[in-house]
Structures are given as C-alpha cells and as structure tokens.
Amino acid sequence: MNRWQASLTNELQILLYRRKIMLLFLLISLLPVVFTLISNAIGSIIDLHTITLSFVMPFLLPCYIFMIATELFVSEIETGTIKLALTRPIARWKIYTSKIIVASIVIFALLLTIWFMSFLMNLFGYNTWSAKGLIEELVIYVVTFFPMFVLFMLSVWIGQMVHSITGSMVISLLLYALFKVVPIFIPLLGNFLFTNYMDWYTLWVNNPLPWSQLFSIASMFLASGAIFGVVGLFLFEQKEIN
C-alpha cells in the first residue's frame, strides 16, 4: 500500500468510526421512509424524489457536508490529531487530497443511499416504478453531487482560516445562507454564485436537455471548486500546527 492509499484508508476509517457522522448519514438516508409513512398516514400519494430532494438539498445535506469538512480539518487541528498524519513520511498535499476524496465518497454514497431508499419506498410503498424512471432518478442524484462537492470545498477553505470547530460550522452556514439570500435582492450577483444553481438537477429531467445551460453551470461548478480547492490546499500547506 503506498502512502497516499494509506492516507485514504486512514481518513475513511477515522470518519466512519465517528458516531455522529454515521448517525446523521443513517437519519438522512431514512427520510424517504419517513415521508412514505407520513403520506400513507395522511392518505395522499407524493412524488417521493421531489419531496426528499427539496427537503435534503437546501438544508440537511449542506449541514452534513459542513460537519464532514469541519471534522476532517478543523477538528483534527484543534485536537492535535492532525499531527499523527503530518509527522509521517507523506506530503501534505496527499493528506489534503485524501481527505477530500474520502469526503466525496461519503457524500456520493449518501446521495446514492437516498436514491436507493426512495426506489425501495416507491416499489413497496406505492408499487410504482419503471426502469426509465429509475435511471432518470439516478441521474438526478448523481448530478446533485457536483454542487454539493463545491460546497464542501468552500467549507474546507473556510476551515483553513478558522481555528475553532464551532467557528468553522457557523461561518460555513452563514456564508451559505448569505449566498442564498443575496441573489434575492441583487439578482445579477446570483449569476456568479454557484449556490444559485444547487437545484440544477431539475434541468436534467428536461427533454430535450438544455446542453448549453448545463455546460455553463458545470463550468461554474468546476471553476468554483478549483478555486476553493487550490486556495484551500495553499493554506493547508502553509498552516503551522502548534
């Protein structure tokens, strides 16, 4: 096992053994079940994917993502456990990238789990499913990963400048709220904020697909993610651990 792989394995193990990370993963995954039970109780049929995504996407998933970013970076620096990796024969950029990959795996796995739970609930709760619908829904969850990844990178960047766990969480949440609120008052500014396109998955169910719009949004995600990632890496490389 080379050191970069070792770092990946370690980060995954450290994260998966965190009780609050796994508990929240489980709770978010079970939302489709909760929504199905509620809809059965009130006796109305709901579009499970739409309601789940509209509930998870704007608030729950960002909070979970900020928690992972804080856990992987700020918490490790605050408790000093980051020293256990930094004093090993491994370059800092490898540690940084392995943390990002591990977080991506967890976020992607969560989205896929929600998709799968929704599928199961549709199958057993409403007895409605089709192969075409299943693929379309899978695409929705897969493309949702990209804005969530950029949000994670933003939180990682913030984590390099903030020294406390609470501070990192609060600033990430405030900045996210600000990014969501500003376009309401200044619509033009919204064009330059990636958070304005968090629900781009709605474009992926159009027929035909609006390719040029999708391309420009994807470019914005790529550019924002790259900027946050590179600045975050620079700050992580320079960071002094006391």
Partner 1 sequence: MGEIVLDVQNVTKQHKNHRGIFHINLTLHKGDVFGLMGPNGAGKSTLFKILVGLIKADQGKIRFFGHSLDTAFEQAMKKVGCLIEKSVAYEHLSALQNLQLAARFYADIHPKDIEEALKTVGLYEVRKEKVSDFSAGMKQRIALANALISNPVFVILDEPITNLDLDGMIEVRNIIHHLSTEKGITFLISSHSANEMEKICNRVGVLFKGELLKIGDIDELTERQSLEEFYLNCVQTNGVKDHE
Tell whether residue 22 is a contact of partner 1 (CB under 8 A): no
Tell whether residue 88 is a contact of partner 1 (CB under 8 A): yes
Give the DSSP letter string of 149-180.
HHHHHHHHHHHHH--SHHHHHHHHHHHHHHHH
Kindly state the tokens that stand for 75: 């918490």
Find out whether 94 and 4 touch, Cβ atoms under 8 Å. yes
Nearest to 144 by CA among 77, 30, 62: 62
Applying CB under 8 A, among 33, 60, 86, 193 the residue interacting with partner 1 is 86
Applying CB under 8 A, among 43, 44, 87, 185 the residue interacting with partner 1 is 87
Per-residue mark of binding to partner 1, 203-242 (x: CB under 8 A): -----------------------------------x-xxx
Tell whether residue 26 is a contact of partner 1 (CB under 8 A): no
Tell whether residue 6 is a contact of partner 1 (CB under 8 A): yes
Residue 13 vs 191, nearer CB to partner 1: 13
- Cα gap 201→197, rounded to integer Å: 9
Give the binding site for partner 1 (CB under 8 A): 1, 3, 6-7, 9-10, 13-14, 17-19, 79-81, 83-84, 86-91, 238, 240-242
